[in-house]
Amino acid sequence: MSELKEGQQAPAFSGKDQDGKPVSLADYSGKTLVLYFYPKDDTPGCTAEACNFRDNYQALLGKGIAVVGVSVDDEKSHRKFATKHSLPFPLIVDTDQAIVNSYGVWGEKNMYGKTYMGTNRTTFIIGPDGRILHIIRKVKNDSATAQVLDLLEAK
């Protein structure tokens, strides 16, 4: 699959969140969506990123921006993570890797000299028309919201 680019139509997705509720791209038609992919529930970087979105969630909603997280962890893991950190937005379960693959964020990673496959932390900002406005490949976990807002305000 070729790498997604800004301006392209975002791939349609559907899945279930931490509470078993269905979530799809179509649910956000007419809104700006921050679709963020993260490697693993309750790890330091992923927690910092999720909590940054949580802490700024009302400000994002006030600007008409929705937030959805995606990882390959299961529903139980997502529910525990969302509850522990009071996350107010859906975390999509992608255990079959369908969404991470359609967005091209599943790939080879390297940690401590070991190579393995995993989710590359990436944020997609999808416009009200379903097109990708911005792709953030170098996410700053503790200022993820500021990265999003800076890009949207620069338009």
Q: What positions carry a catalytic annotation? A: 46
Contacts of 92 (CB under 8 A, 6+ apart): 13, 15, 16, 17, 23, 68, 69, 70, 71, 99
Where residue 146 falls (left for φ over 0; alpha for ψ -120 to 50; beta otherwise) is alpha
DSSP 30-98: TSEEEEEE-S-TTSHHHHHHHHHHHHTHHHHHHTTEEEEEEESS-HHHHHHHHHHTT--S-EEE-TT-H
AA letter at 51 = C
| 32-37 and 122-126 strand pairing | antiparallel
